[in-house]
């Protein structure tokens, strides 16, 4: 039995697109034109996923746990408008650039093959799944993640939760102990819920587009985040991918004008499931 | 001095007496060093208990520095363990007989450094208590470990290497244990009687022994190379810039032999001094070990520089970033010190005077080891500090817990080694006797050749006279 299962698992690893007939492949689109860097998605993620709030001191030491983070970069001064307003400070008036960054649910995830106990594996839904109970904390996955979006529980952070606050923990998922790696799951508990609901409504293989939202998507004031099923050609996220000519299994996308789609660090060939839409700036005004 | 260096005038009984004397009641300095080592180990245990209770965060690792000193120490100690195999097995197969007086302690070093190295992956784990999940044991839920992970290969390689190097050390020691048995009293008599397995020195026993020993050596050489290649694949199999390097397995093996040879020189000088082994551990042997170290140092340097060159000419954006950060970034001090210690310093061994002086070789070997230790640190940390994702770039230096555990590992290694030296003969008696025998034979043959040369000369002179 064990041997049979093992051989089955191994033969699966050798096949590209083994899950191509699965009904779901969850994907995300983030429009950087719309993102204003407000951080509502980050807060929502903390609340939804029981992410520990570690405090200023731990944050300074690099122990923060935000599954979703807003990365801020400053553009090089570009064009007349920038140069007119350029000042000497580190934080110029113009040119701040925000990228919400979370687990990209890579189809060729570098974190998966290196885990010695297979605590992280690929689900048929295209999710890069982390099994907390199986994790032994070797932290190899965290090193091998090019986006550095895996977060390690350096301490028992949940023990620091002051009294009434444990009441606001989300009962749909666990709190994590020390010594465990965790990361964005695309709100897998909500996906689970939506699938159950679809099952109850009599269409088990089809979750209606828009019937579930991730926490970050739900809280985004500018609707910059779109979540959905990439296998469903009619879903909003598939249409956006198609519109911007972003295709899976290609590590360099169409870069012609009017097309803003790209995936972060595509050239590493890790096949992320998150598409970003590049920000367009008018540098002359 | 000349006689001592060729060792041909040492009496058989004197060899036994000299080596057995090293097992006798230790001097005071031995107890002092042992106490210091025990204290270091104790402080390490305290630090580990603290880390175990609080979480890995107290070691001051963070994101992106998920790996730090524990892993670089692991690589360092595994590397150290390659010296014994090199001296014992490779030099045995290549019939370099100068290895004979020094291979025993080098083998012991192999075993103890691998025992030290094996502690690190355990300390390093976030949930130590689930360590056994790495092993492919039959499980009711048919869950297997991930055979694709280099960490799993590590576990297999280390257990195989530790077992076989312990066996190799033990098998090579059996004839000597029999000598010890014949001279010991009390609990030592019991111990040696059990361990020598009734060795009587019959011809049949020697033949079986030789065969086993050579076969073990043949088995151990490829195993040792594969072990460090597997350790290298922890890095080479990742996609991190400056870790994902094809030449890493070769580079790691060369580095392992390099630091191992340096460690042999350190222990060589120490044992010679402490146990008064001047008659066996001669300057000639030191000279040859130094030459070997120099050759390996050059091989390592070649691989190191070719790694820099291939990164530079590949013009890969990420790798180049890390390379530049190594030389001019926050870890530049480490990298330049490493280059000074491991690339420039070995050139001192070009001079015969340096190779023949105990003190200069002792200091030089420590410098080389410092260089190789820093090399392991600069393999692990700088690529993490400047990874693919600029937002997470951070410089982190190891915290007190990590440093204490590092010191403790040196204490642990020295403690095991000292105890070994007092219980087992650290110089192989039977092999030294063999060596002396061959030297004597060679010198008597030389004397005969001299004689015939003189005869010829006389004959020629007589011809001239006529």
CA-based nearest distance B389→chain A, Å: 6
> Is residue A169 predicted with pLDDT exceeding 80?
yes
- With 0-12 CB in 10 A as exposed, 13-18 as middle and 19+ as buried, what is B441? exposed
Q: Do B389 and A110 touch (CB under 8 A)?
A: no
Q: Do A139 and B143 touch (CB under 8 A)?
A: no
Is residue A82 very low, low, confident or very high in pLDDT (cuts 50, 70, 90)?
confident
pLDDT per residue over A130-144, tens digit each? 999 999 999 999 999
CB A231 within 8 A of CB A22: yes
**Higher per-residue confidence, B96 vs B51:** B51
pLDDT per residue over B392-427, tens digit each? 999 999 989 999 999 999 999 999 998 998 888 888
| b/e code B13-47 from CB counts within 10 Å (16+ = b) | eebbebbbebbeeeeeeeeebbeebeebbeebeeb
Distance between CA atoms of residues A128 and A122, nearest Å: 5
ipTM: 0.89
pLDDT of residue B3: 41
**B396 → closest Cβ in A5, A62, A71:** A62
Distance between CA atoms of residues B188 and B134, nearest Å: 39
**Higher per-residue confidence, B10 vs B95:** B95
CA distances, A193 to each of A27, A176, B82, B165 (Å): 17, 21, 55, 55
- Which of B50, B59, B61, B63 is the best mutation test for A, with the most CBs of A within 10 A? B63
Sign (positive/negative) of CA torsion A91, B393, A136, B56? negative
Beta-carbon neighbour count of residue A13 at 10 Å?
A: 13
Q: Do B133 and A69 touch (CB under 8 A)?
A: no
CB A220 within 8 A of CB A105: no
**Higher per-residue confidence, B50 vs A6:** B50
CA-based nearest distance B243→chain A, Å: 10
Distance between CA atoms of residues B157 and B165, nearest Å: 12
Q: Do B138 and A2 touch (CB under 8 A)?
A: yes
Torsion of Cα atoms, A142 then A147 then A150 then A155, to 10°:
80
Distance between CA atoms of residues B440 and A35, nearest Å: 86
Sign (positive/negative) of CA torsion A225, A230, A235, A236? positive
CA distances, B43 to each of B51, B129, B414 (Å): 12, 21, 15
3-state helix, strand, coil in chain B (%, to 5): 80, 0, 20
Q: What percent of chain B has pLDDT over 90?
A: 48
Please enumerate in sequence order all residues whose Cβ is within 8 A of that of A237, keeping only pairs 6 or more positions apart, or say none: A27, A28, A29, A226, A227, A228, A229, A230
Dihedral pair phi/psi, residue A35, rounded to 5°: -70, 130
pLDDT of residue B365: 93
pLDDT of residue B86: 72
Q: Do B66 and A143 touch (CB under 8 A)?
A: yes
Q: Mapping DSSP to helix (H, G, I), strand (E, B) and coil, where does residue B253 land? A: helix
Beta-carbon neighbour count of residue B270 at 10 Å?
A: 17
Q: Do A143 and B384 touch (CB under 8 A)?
A: yes
**Which of A266, A273, A270 shows the shortest CA–CA distance to A251?**
A266
CA distances, A125 to each of A6, A20, A62, A106 (Å): 21, 10, 32, 12
CB B125 within 8 A of CB B291: no
Is residue B346 very low, low, confident or very high in pLDDT (cuts 50, 70, 90)?
very high
A-B Cβ pairs (cutoff 8 Å, strict): 154
Q: Mapping DSSP to helix (H, G, I), strand (E, B) and coil, where does residue A96 land? A: strand
Q: In the block, which residue shows the tokens 């014992």?
A: B88
Q: Do A118 and B239 touch (CB under 8 A)?
A: no
Distance between CA atoms of residues B427 and B277, nearest Å: 9
pLDDT of residue A251: 77
The domain segmentation of chain B, as residue ranges, is 2-436
Is residue A146 very low, low, confident or very high in pLDDT (cuts 50, 70, 90)?
very high
Distance between CA atoms of residues B233 and B246, nearest Å: 9
Distance between CA atoms of residues A214 and A190, nearest Å: 7
Least confident of B21-30, B155-164, B323-332, B360-369: B21-30
Is residue A160 very low, low, confident or very high in pLDDT (cuts 50, 70, 90)?
confident
Mean pLDDT of B39-59: 93
CB B387 within 8 A of CB B393: yes
Chain A residues in contact with B65 by the CB 8 A cut-off are 62
pLDDT of residue B48: 94
Chain B residues in contact with A270 by the CB 8 A cut-off are 239
Q: Two tokens at B238?
A: 């990742």
Mean pLDDT of B232-261: 92
Chain A residues in contact with B148 by the CB 8 A cut-off are 13, 113-114
**Interior angle at CA A79, CA A73 and CA A85, nearest 5:** 70
pLDDT of residue B465: 67
Q: Do B125 and A156 touch (CB under 8 A)?
A: no
DSSP labels for B107-138? Answer: HHHHHHHHHHHHHHHHHH-SSGGGGGGGS---
**Interior angle at CA A131, CA A214 and CA A122, nearest 5:** 70
pLDDT per residue over B186-196, tens digit each? 888 888 988 88
pLDDT per residue over B14-44, tens digit each? 778 778 877 778 788 889 989 999 999 999 9
3-state helix, strand, coil in chain A (%, to 5): 30, 15, 55
DSSP labels for B38-104? Answer: HHHHHHHHHHHHHHHHH-GGGGT--SS--S-HHHHHHHHHHHHTHHHHIIIIIHHHTT-GGGTTTHH
**Interior angle at CA A236, CA A234 and CA A238, nearest 5:** 65
- Element of type H or E holding A152: strand A151-152
Distance between CA atoms of residues B317 and B308, nearest Å: 14
DSSP labels for B321-356? Answer: HHHHHHHHSTTHHHHHHHHIIIIIGGGGGGSHHHHH
CB A217 within 8 A of CB A237: no
> Is residue B367 predicted with pLDDT exceeding 90?
yes
């Amino acid at each position: 039995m064990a041997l049979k299962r093992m051989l089955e698992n191994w033969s699966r690893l050798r096949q590209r697109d083994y899950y191509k007939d699965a009904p779901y492949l969850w994907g995300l689109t983030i429009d950087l034109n719309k993102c204003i860097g407000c951080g509502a998605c980050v807060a929502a993620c903390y609340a939804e996923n029981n992410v520990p709030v570690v405090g200023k001191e731990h944050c300074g030491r690099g122990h923060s746990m935000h599954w979703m983070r807003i990365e801020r970069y400053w553009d090089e001064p570009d064009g007349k408008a920038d140069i007119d307003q350029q000042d000497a400070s580190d934080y110029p008036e113009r040119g701040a650039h925000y990228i919400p960054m979370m687990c990209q649910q890579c189809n060729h995830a570098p974190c998966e093959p290196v885990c010695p106990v297979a605590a992280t594996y690929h689900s048929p839904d295209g999710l890069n799944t982390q099994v907390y109970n199986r994790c032994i904390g070797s932290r190899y996955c965290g090193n091998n993640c090019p986006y550095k979006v895996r977060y390690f529980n350096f301490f028992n952070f949940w023990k620091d939760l002051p009294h009434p606050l444990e009441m606001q923990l989300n009962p749909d998922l666990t709190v994590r102990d020390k010594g465990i790696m965790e990361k964005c799951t695309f709100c897998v508990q909500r996906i689970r819920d939506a699938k159950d609901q679809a099952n109850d409504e009599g269409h088990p293989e089809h979750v209606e587009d828009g019937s579930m939202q991730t926490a970050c998507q739900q809280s985004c004031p500018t609707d910059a985040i779109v979540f959905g099923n990439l296998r469903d050609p009619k879903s909003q996220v598939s249409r956006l991918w198609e519109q911007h000519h972003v295709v899976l299994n290609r590590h360099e996308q169409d870069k012609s004008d009017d097309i803003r789609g790209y995936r972060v660090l595509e050239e590493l060939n890790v096949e992320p499931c998150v598409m970003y839409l590049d920000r367009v700036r008018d540098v002359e005004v | 001095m000349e006689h001592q260096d060729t060792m041909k005038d040492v009496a058989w009984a004197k060899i036994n007496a000299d080596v057995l004397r090293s097992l006798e009641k230790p001097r005071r300095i031995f107890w002092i060093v042992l106490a210091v080592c025990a204290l270091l180990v104790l402080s390490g245990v305290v630090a580990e208990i603290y880390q175990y209770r609080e979480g890995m965060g107290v070691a001051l690792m963070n994101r992106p520095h998920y790996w730090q000193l524990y892993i670089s120490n692991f690589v360092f100690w595994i590397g150290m363990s390659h010296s014994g195999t090199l001296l014992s097995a490779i030099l045995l197969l290549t019939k370099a007989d100068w290895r004979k007086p020094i291979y025993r302690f080098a083998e012991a070093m192999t075993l103890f450094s691998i025992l030290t190295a094996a502690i690190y992956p355990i300390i390093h784990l976030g949930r130590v208590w689930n360590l056994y999940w790495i092993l492919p044991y039959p499980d009711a839920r048919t869950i297997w470990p991930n055979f694709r992970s280099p960490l799993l290969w590590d576990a297999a390689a280390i257990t195989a290497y530790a077992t076989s190097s312990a066996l190799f050390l033990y098998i090579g020691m059996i004839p000597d244990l029999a000598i010890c048995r014949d001279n010991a009293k009390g609990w030592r008599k019991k111990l040696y009687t059990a361990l020598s397995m009734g060795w009587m020195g019959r011809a049949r026993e020697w033949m079986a022994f030789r065969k086993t020993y050579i076969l073990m050596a043949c088995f151990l050489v490829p195993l040792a190379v594969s072990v460090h290649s597997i350790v290298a694949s922890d890095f080479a199999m990742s996609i991190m810039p400056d870790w994902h390097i094809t030449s890493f397995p070769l580079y790691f093996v060369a580095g392992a032999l390099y630091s191992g040879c340096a460690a042999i020189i350190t222990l060589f000088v120490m044992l010679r001094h402490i146990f008064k082994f001047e008659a066996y551990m001669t300057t000639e042997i030191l000279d040859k070990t130094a030459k070997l170290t120099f050759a390996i140092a050059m091989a390592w340097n070649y691989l190191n520089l070719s790694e820099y060159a291939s990164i530079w000419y590949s013009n890969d954006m990420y790798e180049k970033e890390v390379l530049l950060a190594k030389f001019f970034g926050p870890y530049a001090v480490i990298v330049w010190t490493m280059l000074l210690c491991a690339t420039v310093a070995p050139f001192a061994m070009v001079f015969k005077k340096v190779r023949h002086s105990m003190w200069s070789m002792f200091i030089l070997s420590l410098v080389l080891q410092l260089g190789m230790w820093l090399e392991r640190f600069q393999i692990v940390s700088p690529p993490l500090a400047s990874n693919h994702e600029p937002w997470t770039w951070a410089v982190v230096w190891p915290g007190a817990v990590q440093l204490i555990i590092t010191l403790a590992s040196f204490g642990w290694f020295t403690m095991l080694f000292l105890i070994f030296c007092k219980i087992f003969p650290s110089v192989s008696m039977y092999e030294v006797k063999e060596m002396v025998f061959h030297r004597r034979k060679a010198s008597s043959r030389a004397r005969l050749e001299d004689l015939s040369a003189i005869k010829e000369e006389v004959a020629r002179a007589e011809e001239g006279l006529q």
